[in-house]
Structure 1
Amino acid sequence: MRRIDAIGIGFGIFIAGGLAYLGLQLFGLDGQQAGIWSQALLVIGLMGWLATYILRAVGNKMTYHQQREQYETAFLQQRLDELSPEELARIQAEIEQEDQSQV
Structure 2
Amino acid sequence: MRRIDVIGIGLGVFLLGGGLYVGFRIAGFDGLSAGVWSQLIFVTGLLGWVATYLFRVVTSDMTYGQQLRDYENAVLQKRLEEMTPEQLAALEAEIAAEKSAEADEAANSAAPDS
TM-score (ref. length: structure 2): 0.72
Moved more, 26-35 or 44-53: 26-35
Q: Give the Cα separation in 2 of the matches to 1:68 and 1:37.
A: 43
Matched, 1:13 2:45: no
Larger Rg: 2
| Deviation for aligned residue 1:89 | 2.3
Offset of residue 19 of structure 1: 0.8
Partner of 1:40: 40
Q: Secondary structure at the match of 1:34?
A: helix
Please report the RMSD computed on the Cα atoms of aligned residues, expressed in angstroms: 2.2
The percent identity for this pair of structures is: 50
Alignment partner, residue 61 of structure 2? 61
Runs of at least 5 residues in structure 2 that lack an aligned partner in the other structure: 105-114
Aligned twin of 2:51: 51
Which sections of structure 1, spanning at least 5 residues, go unmatched? none
Give the Å deviation of 1:7.
3.2
SS class of match (2:69): helix
